[in-house]
Structure 1
Amino acid sequence: MDHMSSNLEDYLEVIFSLESVNSEARAKDIADAMGVQRASVTNALQKLSQRGLINYQPYSSVTLTPEGFRTATRIVHRHKVLYDFLHTFLQIRPEVAEDTACKLEHHIDDESLETLTKFARFIMTCPRTGKDWLEAFTRSCNERGTCTNCSECIKSCLERQDDKCPGSSEPSSKTS
């Protein structure tokens, strides 16, 4: 199948969302969700129907075909991964992360998305990173606007890590 425009992907994403809540999507609901006129919705629905992604007849509800469901699921997944990374890891405000994820989801390739997913998983599971690491980033970098005193943060983190180290009867001594 040839490349689908960002606009059509957005329609498919909205149809997916409406169908998951209501078991169907109506043109009026799609127009409301996207903030567009019904005529624009009709044109997009015709294009999606021609591609075999939706079941559509004028004045009827819209449902995804199996291929439309697979395509919409991929789009929604890309959006979620990007939003989660922007908001959770980079601490970008939710509304900005949402807007940016919407823009990026149409252009990120599968290899980059998979690598980003692996990186996020690594950050959350590696004992050298994880939740403490994210909290330190938030405190040190985001709250002050710049990350200027990393040595103090690293020293504190290493002390906490030594305290957690199995087999150690006491925290190791540090030299400055």
Structure 2
Amino acid sequence: MKRKLFREEEYLEAILILEERRGKARIKELSEMLGVKPPSVVEYLEKLVKKGLVDYVKGRGEIKLTEEGRKIAEQVYRKHVLLRRFLELIGVPKEIAEEDACKIEHVVSQITLDRIIALIEFLETCPLTRELREGKTPRCRQKVSTSKQ
């Protein structure tokens, strides 16, 4: 995926999160969340306005997702949540899972995501999952040693 699309998705996802948390997104909050300066946010927002993904009038400061922008943002956010959940489920520490999910969400295909969802569902219902996460795998070892004989 091109860097431009990655950046676009990051902006849309951040706006969505701010809208959900505070009812609206503003330049300062978006700037802090994305780790960029306010003038950079304004410049990029103007590009998103031209693409029809956000409504923003310079000077008013309030940023709103359009229907199309919201659709994209929700898809990205859903990927993020699922990937973070999967990474935590397999024992990745929360902070690292959050960072990695943020990177992976922009490049993972829907086919791969569907398989991850199926694996999450399996792992969450499998009685061995807790044992695996805790490093206790006696049943697995037993099955492996039994199958080798």
Q: Single out whichever of 25-34 and 76-85 deviates more from structure 2.
A: 25-34
Mapping of residues 31-110 of structure 1, within 5 Å = 31-60=31-60, 61-87=62-88, 89-110=89-110
Is residue 113 of structure 2 the alignment partner of residue 133 of structure 1? no
Greater C-alpha radius of gyration: 1
Q: Deviations over 1:122-147 (max 9, x none)?
A: 2223xxxx2x3121112226xxxxxx
What residue in structure 2 maps to residue 168 of structure 1? none
Q: Secondary structure at the match of 2:134?
A: helix
What residue in structure 2 maps to residue 27 of structure 1? 27
Mapping of residues 11-22 of structure 1, within 5 Å = 11-22=11-22
Q: What is the count of residue pairs matched by the alignment? A: 142
Distance 1:157 1:15 in 2: 50
TM-score normalised by structure 1 residue count? 0.73
Q: Give the letter aligned to residue 120 of structure 2.
A: A
Q: Secondary structure at the match of 1:107?
A: coil
Distance 2:130 2:57 in 1: 51
| Residues 70 and 155 of structure 1: CA distance in aligned 2, closer, same or farther (over 3 Å) | closer
| Residues 134 and 58 of structure 1: CA distance in aligned 2, closer, same or farther (over 3 Å) | same
Q: Give the letter aligned to residue 47 of structure 2.
A: K
Provide the alpha-carbon RMSD of the alignment: 2.3
TM-score normalised by structure 2 residue count? 0.86
The structure 1 segments of at least 4 consecutive aligned residues displaced by more than 3 Å after TM superposition are: 155-158
Which protein has greater RCO, CA pairs closer than 8 Å, 6+ apart? Answer: 2
Distance 1:8 1:137 in 2: 38
Structure in which a larger fraction of residues adopt helix: 2
| Residues 22 and 139 of structure 1: CA distance in aligned 2, closer, same or farther (over 3 Å) | closer
